[in-house]
Structure 1
């Protein structure tokens, strides 16, 4: 999609952080943007902020972990703008702990928002993009944790799923005129560590009490510090705009974790080296 002006984009998790950065970049490029979020007050504030710049934006509240609410948000978007060209599956939560702390509710909440909502978003909006025949693009927000899992958390598992889904969809949707990109950000200044503020009642208990001392507490505090000093989401939004315009399969935000990704690829290759030269049929 070389030209975003006049196109319509639907962005989830759009009231703050990366989602707002993406919505802002698209709107400033001339796109009409429907912001979708679970937080009423934040959504209203984001819309007020954007409308001061005389862009064409609107908003719809939805809990994307409920397929019916996501479908209703799609209906609201087509009712407002007629067509949809760009889908951004960005809503995400940082729920779930490592092995030994797993609970069904934490898995259901995290996978529901981070992975199932992405699947449903594509299932719902894909046909809407196809039907007008003007082409389009799908961006789904994963994480560097979707390439280099640092632990057995539901968050990491969900982000690996988003990467796999995006990689699989790209060749399938290309003949239909739809590009697919996966966004794998590093440390960005967002509210991801405070995801429990939006925890639906049906997932009560999913947000566990965090330790105040010990190795895990130190690691959590380090992550919080890195996020608070992270990259500005508006910069990420501009990268996503560029990625959509140029059909990048992967959108990264910085080079910090490139050596770790390369180390993972090297470990995978070593696995093949262990069996190189052996005859599996003997």
Structure 2
């Protein structure tokens, strides 16, 4: 999609961070944007801020971990703009802790937002994008942790899943005129470290002692510091806009983790090399 002017985009997790950065970049390119978020006050503020720039935008509240709410958001988008050309599955949460600290509710919330929200977004909006025959694009936010898992966090599992569906969907939708990209950001200046502020009351939160222990860990403090000094989300939005216009399969925000991913691929190749020349038993 070389020309985004007058196209309609639906962006989840759009009230702040990467989502707002993407919504802003698309609006600046002339697209109409429906911002979607679970955090209503922040969503209203974001929408009003973009409207002051004369952008054609609106907002709809939805919990993407609930398919019914995402479906209602799609209907609201059609009612407001008539068509959808671009889907940005961006909503995400930090979620559950490492092995030994998992709980059923934490897993349900993390998987529900980070993975099921993406799958349902594709299921609901994909046919809408195909229906008008004008082409379109789907971007789903994974993480560099979707290509490099350095721990047992379910977050990483969900992001690997987002990469997998994006890679497969890209092959399937290309002949139908729909591009697919996966965004794999590094450390971006967002509110992901405080994502529990939006955890729905239907999920039981960890007890305060367990939560305090997790937040005091060396890893948590390191990640928090890197996020707080991370890349500007507006810059990420510009990269996503470019990725849509140029139909990039993978959208990265920096090269910090490239050597580690190359090392992972090298380890995978070693696994193949170990059996090279052997005849498999049939």
> What is the Cα deviation at residue 281 of structure 1?
2.6
Q: 1:260 to 1:79 in 2, by over 3 A?
A: same
1:191-236 deviation digits (Å, cap 9, x = unpaired): 00101000001112258513178xx711111110000000000000
Q: What's 1:117 paired with?
A: 117
Matches within 5 A, 1:174-253: 174-205=174-205, 209-211=211-213, 217-253=217-253
**Which sections of structure 1, spanning at least 5 residues, go unmatched?**
none
Q: Mind listing any 5+ residue stretches in structure 2 that lack a counterpart?
A: none
**What is the DSSP-based 3-state SS (H/G/I as helix, E as strand, rest coil) of the residue aligned with 1:179?**
strand
1:145 aligns with 2:145: yes
Q: Is the 8 A contact 2:214 2:220 kept in 1?
A: no
CA offset digits 1:163-187 (Å, max 9, x no partner): 0000010000001110000000000
TM-score by length of 2: 0.97
2:74–2:124 contact (8 Å) kept in structure 1? yes
SS in 2 for 1:45: helix
Dislocated runs of 4+, deviation >4 Å: none
Equivalent position of 2:154 in the other structure: 154
Task: Specify the SS of the correspondent of 2:211.
Answer: coil
Counterpart CA distance in 2 for 1:277 and 1:110 is: 42
Query: How large is the Cα RMSD of the aligned pairs?
Result: 1.2
Relative to the length of structure 1, the TM-score reads 0.97
Closer/same/farther in 2, CA of residues 206 and 167 from structure 1, 3 Å limit: farther
Partner SS state of residue 69, structure 1: helix
SS in 2 for 1:125: helix
**In the alignment, is the contact (CA less than 8 A) between 1:21 and 1:233 conserved in 2?**
yes
Structure 2 equivalent of residue 50 of structure 1? 50
Alpha-carbon contact 1:106-1:154 (below 8 Å) kept: no
Instruction: Show the 5 A alignment for 1:9-24.
Output: 9-24=9-24
Which moved further from structure 2: 216-225 or 186-195?
A: 216-225
Q: Is the 8 A contact 1:95 1:206 kept in 2?
A: no
CA contact (8 A) 1:189 1:229 kept: yes
1:271 aligns with 2:277: no
SS, match of residue 36 in structure 1: strand
Q: Distance in 2 between matches of 1:278 and 1:54?
A: 65
1:82: which partner in 2?
82
Question: Partner of 1:209: helix, strand, or coil?
Answer: helix
Contact 1:141 1:184 survives alignment (8 Å): yes
Contact 1:166 1:182 in 2 (8 A): yes
**Counterparts of 1:235 and 1:266, CA distance in 2:** 31
Secondary structure of 1:180's match? strand
1:58-112, Cα deviation, whole Å (9 max, x unpaired): 0000001000000000000000000000000000000011111111111100000
Task: Describe the SS at the equivalent of 1:88.
Answer: strand
